[in-house]
Structure 1
Amino acid sequence: MRHAWLWRHRGSFGAIEAGKSPRLLVDVSAIVQKDVHTGIQRVVRAVWSELKQRDGQGFTLVPVFATARHGYCQAPHDFLDRVRAPASPMLINVSRGDCFLGLDLSAHFLPKYRRQIRAWRASGVSVNVVVYDLLPLTHSQWFEKRTVEQFREWFETLSWEADQLLCISNQVAVDVAGRLGTMAAPRLIRIRKLNLGADIAASRPSAGMCLDVTRLLERLRTNDAILMVGTVEPRKAYDVALAAFEYIWHTAPQDAPDLVIVGKPGWKTQALQVKLRKHLHAGERLHWLPSVSDEGLCRLYEACKGVLVASHNEGFGLPLAEALAHGRPVLARDLPVFRENQSSGIQFFTQDDPRSLGKRLIELARSASLTDGDIEHRAWSKTVADLLEVLGIKATPTPSAMPLLRTAS
């Protein structure tokens, strides 16, 4: 049915409108359905908000999303303020010189409309996709089988249809180049790095403080704590962290900090999730908050003594960057992707055994807040300026507006 619809509307592709500025077609397929407040969706909100401030300055901004039956259609510009996707999607008439930006994670959408993307390219539209990571392909054991299959289809589509892949770290760029090198891609694809921001206030942050966060903040006035941020799923190594905290809670209770986890329940960690909920120290020294507004997360960054990033692998590590932006020292696993950050506010660990890691956690809790020279200010405005440059779009930046707070859903 999708292919039949695309064929009936094939005349809509490729019409060149004289005198029109090029359009930037930004894929927001996932967030337009529901904002589940992941790190990637924080990126989408932040980049979209910065792009809107530049709309009309050498390009026309058009949000697009993959519909169930009608291919990529235009989304309303206020999609971030809507509860659900529009019921009557509008067809997009592309023109030569337009630019498609795959900003949202679209592994389960893009392959379905490969013919439409190919038709756009044939009409002179450049196809650019942000690659956040290839972890379902490089470490399939951490993911559900369907996710791995979707990523394979998605990356195979990119290898044939994309003009440029924008990677959020050098490590992702290396992974992408290596993967493309093993495939029979028909042409050269440009691989560029896109530096992400870390300013939560500029990402249309959600507002509101739930009772659990308010109570926890009150406890943290007199109790040290270490914060971990991210979905509870295998690669985040929450099991490793919990074992280390359990060790120091038992052997050095006076010196051991609390553990605060901000992250929704994920996949392949059901036993761990049960353990977190029913733990002896749950609600006392162990605090798992599955749903926290951006305002609440910022307050927790400020209230905790440091941030632990124990992930076995990442495409970037947004919590690491956000912690540094809040002046908090970080203890991170010694990974190449984390080494890309040169801040002196990061210490690295290599040993997972509870005794060794537990000792490092106590040291982290005793660390002083970062000085101004160590605090990194990664502005999303700079991310978008770099993005427009690599897309070949000439636009004049405008001063950032005051951040808009949204009520958490």
Structure 2
Amino acid sequence: MSVHIFMDLSRLIARAGVPVPTGIDRVEYEYARHLLEHEAHRTHFVAFHPVGRIGEIPFEEARDFVGRTGRAWDGARELCSGLRWQGRRLIWQALKAADRGQGVSSPAMYLNVSHHHLTRPRSIGNFLVRYNALFIAMVHDLIPMEFPEYGRPGEAEKHLVRMRTVARLGAGAIVPSHAVGRSLAPYLRHSPAREHVAVVPHGVHLGETVPEKGAFQKDLMQKGRPYFVCLGTIEPRKNHLLLLHIWRSMAEEMGAQVPHLVVVGKRGWENENVVDMLERCPALRGCVHECQGLTDPEVAALLQDCAALVFPSFSEGFGLPLAEALVLGVPVICSDIPVFHEFAGSDVTYIDPTDGPAWMRAIRDASRGKAPATASGGSDFRAPDLFQWPEQVGKGIQAADSIIEKYRRNGLIPA
């Protein structure tokens, strides 16, 4: 029997009109796009209203919203204002529909791939009862709990509530890496979901994007010096501060010959020291560049021509910048953390994120055209095969269907 899918679009709607997506934004978008293209016959879209209700939204309007969101991210910024109004309308429609929900023939799943409103377990529980659905959650990471020092105050407590919601209400979970699965396991110890955790790595959008050099990159390349890219939100766990201190030392020693560092990403939280250096450090002027609002084609072009991606993060649940660089064939210097070994094998340079001298040596070597050293041992993986979004979302939906089927075979839900 075909499983009805209630796909939650709350995060995309809450961020409607934002021109540059985060990694989790992209995940929700790609799952929605896949369902629209391949599973429309059994897909329903829902959204959370702040009063605490989850309701269906009109299918065709959801289709239009998802399509317009993708075009806005690809550079059609004139759509952003209209998307914000459309998002407000969808939330209102969800609230109106919440009281009219009649459910569907069993079985059904409620799919939430964004962590959005997992702090509202009563709202989710009411929806599951009303629609006779099983809850499949995607857990991206447990970093706020494992490394609270890198997050906003109070975020660890909120994330604990999210994980308790998954444990109490979830039938299963999808995680992007084995590392996240290991971190999640203790919280599912007494949950039925503990036997139904599927590892499905994310896909990469830049691999299917046609690169397009922007004005910034054209000007940068005319300067005739190599450049490195650091891609991701500016926040403490991304360890931008290490790179800025390295670049200050190199700038003081090398002068006009210092390579460039391009920091691509919006400013996040708890990042005062990084911002102070970006804005006020004289040695970094002219060699460290902060870029926000680049389109995906511009980011792809910037990565393709760089000396290396530098990714000194202290912790990641997956690491989309690493995957993007691997797909594009870009050299990578990254932190020596377990999750990166899952996907990059021996194809990148691993360095302890606290070992500043080793990072400086690797960056200097790469700036001189020397290929970054890779880990010992061979690797037979092929990044372009691993990280294609359509295939990865298909695996995620297949895993969710399999979880529902196991419950049905065990007589835990009606056939």
TM-score interval w.r.t. the shorter chain? 0.7 to 0.9
Tell me which amino acid in the other structure corresponds to 2:182. V
CA distance in 2 between partners of 1:187 and 1:339 (Å): 26
CA distance in 1 between partners of 2:5 and 2:31 (Å): 13
Any conservation in 1 of the 2:30–2:393 contact (CA below 8 Å)?
no
Identity fraction in percent: 20
Which of 366, 376, 388 does residue 383 from structure 2 map onto? 376
CA distance in 2 between partners of 1:176 and 1:185 (Å): 11
Partner of 1:13: none
Partner of 2:10: 29
CA distance in 2 between partners of 1:170 and 1:341 (Å): 10
Partner of 2:23: 39
Tell me which amino acid in the other structure corresponds to 2:43. L
Tell which has more relative contact order, 1 or 2 (C-alpha 8 A, sep 6+): 1
1:69 matches 2:51: yes
CA RMSD of aligned residues (A): 2.8
Query: Are the structure 2 counterparts of residues 360 and 188 from structure 1 closer, same or farther at C-alpha, using a change threshold of 3 Å?
Result: closer
Worse-matched range after superposition: 251-260 or 135-144: 251-260
Query: Are the structure 2 counterparts of residues 108 and 179 from structure 1 closer, same or farther at C-alpha, using a change threshold of 3 Å?
Result: closer
Which of 273, 276, 280 does residue 274 from structure 1 map onto? 276
CA distance in 1 between partners of 2:205 and 2:11 (Å): 22
Which of 127, 132, 142 does residue 140 from structure 2 map onto? 132
Any conservation in 1 of the 2:110–2:128 contact (CA below 8 Å)?
no
User: Which residues of 2 match residues 4-403 of structure 1 at below 5 A?
Assistant: 21-35=2-16, 36=18, 37-56=21-40, 59-69=41-51, 71-75=53-57, 76-80=62-66, 81=68, 82-83=83-84, 84-85=87-88, 86=90, 87-89=92-94, 90-91=97-98, 92-95=101-104, 96-107=106-117, 110-111=120-121, 113-120=123-130, 124-181=132-189, 184-185=190-191, 188-200=194-206, 213-221=214-222, 222-253=224-255, 256-282=258-284, 284-350=286-352, 352-365=354-367, 366-367=369-370, 376-377=383-384, 378-392=387-401
Any conservation in 1 of the 2:172–2:193 contact (CA below 8 Å)?
no
CA distance in 2 between partners of 1:132 and 1:368 (Å): 32
CA distance in 1 between partners of 2:194 and 2:352 (Å): 38
Structure 2: state its 5+ residue gaps: 69-82, 375-379, 404-415
More helix by share: 2
CA distance in 1 between partners of 2:341 and 2:28 (Å): 25
CA distance in 1 between partners of 2:220 and 2:273 (Å): 28
Query: Are the structure 2 counterparts of residues 364 and 180 from structure 1 closer, same or farther at C-alpha, using a change threshold of 3 Å?
Result: farther
Worse-matched range after superposition: 189-198 or 107-116: 107-116
CA distance in 2 between partners of 1:262 and 1:73 (Å): 36
CA distance in 1 between partners of 2:119 and 2:197 (Å): 22
State TM-score, norm by structure 1. Answer: 0.80
CA distance in 2 between partners of 1:354 and 1:310 (Å): 10
Paired residues in the alignment total 362
Any conservation in 1 of the 2:177–2:200 contact (CA below 8 Å)?
yes
Any conservation in 1 of the 2:235–2:268 contact (CA below 8 Å)?
yes
Structure 1: state its 5+ residue gaps: 1-19, 395-409
State TM-score, norm by structure 2. Answer: 0.79
Any conservation in 2 of the 1:25–1:101 contact (CA below 8 Å)?
yes
